[in-house]
Structure 1
Amino acid sequence: EDGVPRTLTTKPTSTDAYDDTARAANRGKTSASARAGKDDTLALSVWLGAMRVSKSVYGYRKRAKSGKLLEMVELERPLPPHEYETRGVWLDPPVQLRDALVRCGHHYSRGGLHAVEHLLVTLAPVVIACDSADLGCQCTRRKGDEHADRLLLFEKRRGGVGVVEALQPRFRALMDAALARLEGCECAAGCPSCIMMSGCGEYNEGLDKMAGGAILRSLLLGGAMDDSKPS
């Protein structure tokens, strides 16, 4: 942390557990430079602009070999963040949608929005010429994160290479494809064929397939949702 080179000594051992880092990719200030026409995409505005991505290690998890979480340890001081400027595309769902899902017992951001972002990243190559590895999303949402309730995708390459510019006018088609994938999957609570994504910073924990479907249907219909249980 202080920039002084250090040596880490390891030795072979036999154990039934392993550690992995707990990392957060926090979005800094976003600066919108354009808004997609409502007639071309959704009733809600889809924004495009510059943003700063800040990734930091704030702790580690101890897991059994089965993957079961045994312990979560937070560092007293997170490691210095890795930051870069890039481009992103996002929309801000209405707070009424969040409140309705919470009243129904769902986790809105980590469960529902997280699931939707996984679908959008995975299916982006269906609507534009790109690789899903070009895009990232907010896998980790921590208390106090500025954009925790924002549906947001960002380019992983510094400065961006035009992926989100191509994606913005196709956002409606992308969300249609995401809903079709989710509704066409016969799993009960989410699987690798729908909302789970390899490389997820949260190991696909906390995903809520039902909430994700409710969010997509609501956004495609203009952001409205009642308090009935989402199907």
Structure 2
Amino acid sequence: ELARKLVGEEVEVVSNDASPTGAKFFVLWTPPIIDLAGSRRRSPNYEATSILAHLIRHGVRTIAFAKARKVAELILRYARDMLKDNPALAERLASYRAGYLPEERRDIERRLFKGELLGVSSTSALELGIDIGDLDACIIVGYPRSKTSLWQQAGRAGRRLGASLAFLVAYEDPLDQYFMRHPESLFKGEFDEVILDPDNRYILGAHLLCAAHELPFQNDGRFFPKERAESVLKRLEAKGLLRKRGEKWYWTGPGTPAPHFGLRSASSSGYQIVDITKGKVIATVDEARAFETVHPGAICLHQGETYLVEELDIKAKVAKVVPADVDYYTEPRIVKDTRIIEELRSKEVENCEAYFGRLRVTEKVIGYRRRQHYTEAILSYHDLDLPERKYDTQGLWLIVPPRVAHEVAELGLHLMGGIHAMEHAMIGLLPLFAACDREDVGGISNPFHPDTAMPTVFIYDAYLGGVGIAERGFERLKEWMEATLEQVSNCPCEEGCPSCIQSPKCGSNNEPLDKSACSFILARLLGRGRKEALDLAERPKRKRQIASAG
């Protein structure tokens, strides 16, 4: 289906694999619980680093995959710390990610292929397309975006006939913990269906410009929906970038359009990160993520080195950084608002009214918090004054009916805490039903939203115009809600934890959250009776009481 969408033609699947391969041993690794309330586990980054350092000490050539650039850099830093008694080994470690300069990436690839490096900590940038030689082990830190990515990453080790080892180190998020309890879902069933929206009007404009630059473009509906493409073509003509002659559109802009568009985002520009002590550009960051990642006071990591952002020049799109030796990292604090532009679809799921449509999202980075390495303890909070970012996207919204809201109040539960927890938990499990990552979606919950006049939970694509993630969730909404209820009600913690309702992205520091209210609301929306819903809401507390009595 992906190939068909990309090329607009029927394709034939080649599914037989005749390439040589050896045995692969797969280890599912859950960091241990470290507090009596069952709400905290040991850091998965620390666990992955310990495994990496142990393998390197034994000469096992290893790649560690992290889901975020910052984590890849942290793992390198932690591993070098653990190997500081053997500097020669520590020097045979490197990190690799998008954002490095091309010459840096080529040098790391060369050293890895030739065996000069024993280990590398990488984002998905090394997942495919680059020959990295023979590796013996792979550590996957947190479930990646899809089963396809999981097996692609695991397959980077043991690419010949020898046996290899793959670790999946689980995060404290709902999806990872779901797989730890249901490992069969990782090794059975179909691979994920890749979500693609080639008609996104923000991306479509870039496609059309690049197409018209290569050859005069005729809008005959073969490649894009004719009406949508026509409106975008006219908009580009008004900007002086295209001109229509006869039935074809010609590029009339200066130079070449392709360098002005990114391959990894819908943004057409980015920020440079400049080390002002050397006057050198060390990396780049997408414009849509700049305020979150390179705000004043932010800690940036590059090649295992730590930098502090001293100034963010928004007009010049430059983040000015200096080397820093600190024992903490930073997380942004973000407030959001969501308004409904247009309702496109609606349906009922048992007692729940659900809608899908176009939304306008407003986000503002209002500050950041400092977290200590290893312990993850919050050290301090800091305020920021940065511009708002507004964008239109697609999303779904769920209405909590008045009778359910009334029951929540009667039981002494917290309505806002319940729908806020429901938002977090559903976002955490969305990758079960749509090939995505938590970073690809956003959400907001409101006990009285101005556009619905009722308690409402929004979940939306965190991309301009939307890319189809929330739409896929809408199509499988009941399964998604059922899986969320199962995850939350069976999590062993009492008040909520990162494995069920807490989110690392939450701009309000995970407040308020009410785990019991979340289970009760989900159960009632899914048609459970009041008694059964209350039983599900109280299940973790009863389990904890039984365990304590035992």
Structure 2 length-normalised TM:
0.34
| Unaligned 5+ runs, structure 2 | 1-313, 323-328, 539-550
Identity %: 29
CA contact (8 A) 2:351 2:524 kept: no
SS at match of 1:49: strand
CA contact (8 A) 1:96 1:225 kept: no
SS at match of 2:473: helix
Q: How far did 1:85 drift?
A: 0.2
Q: How far did 1:197 drift?
A: 1.9
Greater helix share, structure number:
2
Closer/same/farther in 2, CA of residues 4 and 118 from structure 1, 3 Å limit: closer
Match of 1:94 among 392, 401, 407: 401
Amino acid across the alignment from 1:52: R
| Paired residues for 1:202-221 under 5 Å | 202-221=508-527
Give the whole-Å Cα distance in 1 for the aligned partners of 2:346 and 2:351.
12
Name the residue aligned to 1:104: 411
The reply to whether residue 146 of structure 1 matches residue 450 of structure 2 is: yes
| Unaligned 5+ runs, structure 1 | 12-17
Closer/same/farther in 2, CA of residues 172 and 61 from structure 1, 3 Å limit: same
Give the whole-Å Cα distance in 1 for the aligned partners of 2:492 and 2:456.
28
Closer/same/farther in 2, CA of residues 216 and 162 from structure 1, 3 Å limit: same
Name the residue aligned to 2:340: 29
CA contact (8 A) 1:26 1:145 kept: no
SS at match of 1:138: strand
Give the whole-Å Cα distance in 1 for the aligned partners of 2:352 and 2:511.
29
Give the whole-Å Cα distance in 2 for the aligned partners of 1:10 and 1:127.
40
CA contact (8 A) 1:121 1:132 kept: yes
Give the whole-Å Cα distance in 1 for the aligned partners of 2:370 and 2:517.
27
Give the whole-Å Cα distance in 1 for the aligned partners of 2:483 and 2:448.
31
| Paired residues for 1:42-53 under 5 Å | 42-53=350-361
The reply to whether residue 194 of structure 1 matches residue 505 of structure 2 is: no
Larger Rg: 2
The reply to whether residue 162 of structure 1 matches residue 473 of structure 2 is: no
SS at match of 1:196: coil
Closer/same/farther in 2, CA of residues 4 and 120 from structure 1, 3 Å limit: closer
Name the residue aligned to 1:84: 391
Deviation digits for residues 97-133 of structure 1, max 9, x if unmatched? 2232233332212x11111111111111112333332
| Paired residues for 1:216-231 under 5 Å | 216-221=522-527, 225=530, 231=538
Give the whole-Å Cα distance in 2 for the aligned partners of 1:47 and 1:144.
16
Name the residue aligned to 2:364: 56
CA contact (8 A) 2:448 2:456 kept: no
Closer/same/farther in 2, CA of residues 82 and 103 from structure 1, 3 Å limit: same
Name the residue aligned to 1:15: none
Closer/same/farther in 2, CA of residues 72 and 149 from structure 1, 3 Å limit: farther
Deviation digits for residues 143-170 of structure 1, max 9, x if unmatched? 9863682021011011001112211120
Closer/same/farther in 2, CA of residues 20 and 118 from structure 1, 3 Å limit: closer
Give the whole-Å Cα distance in 1 for the aligned partners of 2:371 and 2:465.
39
Which stretch of structure 1 is more off in the superposition, 127-136 or 161-170?
A: 127-136
Give the whole-Å Cα distance in 2 for the aligned partners of 1:175 and 1:96.
19
Give the whole-Å Cα distance in 2 for the aligned partners of 1:207 and 1:190.
8
Q: How far did 1:64 drift?
A: 9.4
